[in-house]
A and B are shown apart, each in its own frame.
Chain A
Amino acid sequence: MAYEIECKDVTYTYPLSKKPAIKNLNLKLEKGKLYGVIGENGAGKTTLCSILRGFAPSFYKGTISGEVLIQGKPLSSYDEQISRKIGYVFQNLFTQISGIKNTVFEEVAYGLENFGVPVEEIERKVVDIMDLTDIMDLAEKSPFELSGGQMQRVALASVIVLDPEILIIDEPTSQLDPQSAESVFKIIKKLKERGKTIILIEHKVDLLAEYSDEIIVLHDSQVIKMGETRHVLSDLSLREHGIQLPQVTLLAEKLRESGMRIDELPITKKQALDLIQEKRS
């Protein structure tokens, strides 16, 4: 069976640049999984996502070698319909609205309009997605007058309403308060339950530890580690590359240093709790 996304030795260089922004990228992403992408600033996270969606090189130009396959077919063989296959939520909040719609309802409906979906179906789908993303009460508000958290949910809704099988989400919580961040993650979890393959760039490792299946670690334009979330996030050597590890992992590490026997470091609060209970009994 073909992988949902496969990269074969992809190297990409931006125009005017001599150094590649992504080097020798090899990835095999499976359907229905949530992949967290971490790495310090400038490691190439956003570039990686642009490559998966084809914006690099189609929009950014530059040179690319290697091959990107989406569901077994080369990315270049897809036409504009690719935006219904791969949804992309960008990092910048305020440029994510179409800029021409007066209400959130119309904003969310915009993509479906472009794809020529019948009116009744648009209404039904948009209402469903506004419910899922908890923006029903904003439906008649102007997209220009939303708070950061509201804007991010509207942006998410506008993309997932197209029902893409693959979703790329670039730092959805970087400009949000903790509460809004949590609510965004709840939406992402629901999307995963709907069977979507999700690639998520995120700095908040505590949230990633809880929600993601696998983690891809980038450093200096290359993937330096990739694998099951607990396996990756409990790797203390990642700290050398400027990567933060979950709070509980660091705490457990301190306990281990002070003599407690811990076989596998916990990465979520729940795992830590289990560990403590196990030690007490």
Chain B
Amino acid sequence: MEKTFTEKIQINKRNKIAGLYPATKLQIVILFSISTLIINSIKLTDAKLALLLIPWFALVPFMFAITGEFKKSMKSMKPIFVVAIFIIAVQTFIVSGGQTLWHWHFLSIREKGLQTAISLGFLVLNIAGMFTWMLQSTSTKEISRCFEESGMNFKVAYIFTSSLEMIKVFSKRSQTILDAQRSRGVETEGNLKVRAKAFFPTIVPLILGGIIGSEDRVLTLEARGFSIKGEHTHLFDLKKSGYERRMLVVSIIITLLIIAGRISLWRMK
């Protein structure tokens, strides 16, 4: 039998991890971030480096893999890698203080620089990486629905989704305006003054159109019963994959183990 339209708009994920309830994913990310911060406080070697953060980062690609989104997620990690590499490079070679560990011509690595390099670089990689896992495996439709199900006002969900769509609309519109300007001979290349001049006539009509349009949209939404009191129906049904409890329990156990490890290290001292 042919599917109904209501069935067609549902999201059905085969992968149980990808299909985790969005709030559960967030809980996992938070537990992971706490663990990361605790691990960061464990300093190894004489130079006091948070070296454990490096193997800990393996968990990020591992999560990508078991979610079945490895390639896509790794690709969106690119800007994060750039930031992390930048941080590590700058801190390693520029920050002074402590013993000199390595020296070659004008480059030198000092203890303090390396400490912050590894700490900050891998904190960013780990935490931003886990957020990437959550966000790449969850559609915005699921996030928006989850907002509402966790008790937030439906207006919050509306603004969230609407903003995303508005970004798409505006990006397209700015491209159109920019193209139109080019065809009218407005320069978008060349020196700074020329390029700066192209910015203004592109952004102004966008804002203006947006503000006038939102007035009409208020009425459109009112006409569709937006602010009606009472229970709303939701055609889109946010499902749980059934692995929520399991994943959460595993995450909690790992976090507790890390806390225990941290405490026992203090005791040993």
Interface residues of A (CB under 8 A from B): 53, 55, 59, 80-81, 83-84, 87-88, 90, 92, 94-100, 102-103, 105-106, 109-119, 122-123, 126-127, 139-140, 144, 158-159, 162
Instruction: Select the residue from B6, B219, B224 with max chain A CB neighbours within 10 A.
Output: B224
B232 & A114 in contact (Cβ 8 Å cutoff): yes
Taking CB atoms, residues of chain B closer than 8 Å to A144 are 165, 168-169
Contact between A119 and B227 (Cβ–Cβ < 8 Å)?
no
Interface set, chain B 214-234, CB cutoff 8 A to A:
214, 216-234
**Cβ contact within 8 Å between B235 and A59:** no
Query: B162 within 8 Å of A by Cβ?
Result: yes
B233 to chain A, nearest CB (A): 5
Note all chain B residues with C-beta closer than 8 A to A158: 224
Q: A119-B6, A122-B235, A123-B4 are in contact. List 20 more A-B contacts (CB 8 A).
A: A55-B219, A59-B219, A80-B228, A84-B225, A88-B219, A92-B216, A95-B214, A98-B220, A98-B224, A100-B144, A100-B161, A111-B224, A114-B232, A116-B231, A117-B233, A118-B233, A122-B6, A123-B5, A139-B5, A140-B8
* Contact of A80 with B225 in the complex, beta carbons under 8 Å: yes
Distance in Å from the Cβ of A27 to the closest Cβ of chain B? 21
In the complex, which residues of chain B have a beta carbon less than 8 angstroms from the beta carbon of A102?
9, 141
Contacts of B141 in A (CB 8 A): 102
Q: Which of A83, A84, A122, A127 has the most CB atoms of chain B within a 10 A radius of its CB?
A: A83
Interface of B is mostly: helix
CB <8 Å contact, A94 and B213: yes
User: What is the minimal beta-carbon distance from B14 to any residue of chain A, in angstroms?
Assistant: 21
User: Which residues on the A side are within 8 Å of B232 (C-beta)?
Assistant: 113-116
What are 13 A-to-B residue pairs whose CB atoms are below 8 Å? A55-B219, A83-B228, A94-B213, A95-B213, A95-B214, A100-B158, A100-B162, A106-B9, A111-B224, A122-B233, A123-B5, A126-B5, A158-B224
Q: Which residues of B contact A (CB under 8 A)?
A: 4-6, 8-9, 141, 144, 158, 161-162, 165-166, 168-169, 213-214, 216-236
Expressed in whole angstroms, the Cα–Cα distance for A161 and B9 within the complex equals 19
**Smallest CB gap from B226: residue in A:** A114
Q: How far is A259 from B219 in the complex, measured between Cα atoms in Å?
A: 53
Q: Are A162 and B158 in contact (CB under 8 A)?
A: no
The interface residues of chain A lying within 8 Å CB-to-CB of B223 are: 53, 83, 87-88, 90, 111, 159
- A205 to B95, alpha carbons, bound, how many Å? 78
The residue of chain A having its C-beta at the shortest distance from the C-beta of B216 within the complex is: A95
* B216 / chain A contacts, CB cutoff of 8 Å: 90, 92, 95-96
Give the top 8 A-B pairs by smallest Cβ distance, nearest first.
A95-B216, A111-B224, A114-B225, A100-B161, A105-B5, A88-B223, A80-B228, A113-B233
With the chains together, A53 CA to B218 CA distance in Å? 14
CB-nearest residue of chain B to A110? B224
A114 to B230 CA separation, bound complex (whole angstroms):
8
CA distance A32 to B23 in the complex (A): 51
Q: Which residue of B lies closest to A50 (CB)?
A: B219
Task: Evaluate contact between B225 and A115: CB separation under 8 angstroms.
Answer: yes
| Complex interface: chain B residues within 8 A of A103 (CB) | 5, 9
Whether A81 contacts B217 in the complex (CB less than 8 A), given A99-B165, A117-B233, A159-B223, comes out as no
Q: Once the chains are docked, how many angstroms separate the CA of A140 from the CA of B2?
A: 14
Pairwise interchain contact A99-B6, C-beta atoms closer than 8 A: no
Q: Which residues of chain B are near A83, meaning CB under 8 Å?
A: 222-225, 228
In the bound complex, CA of A97 to CA of B235 (Å): 17
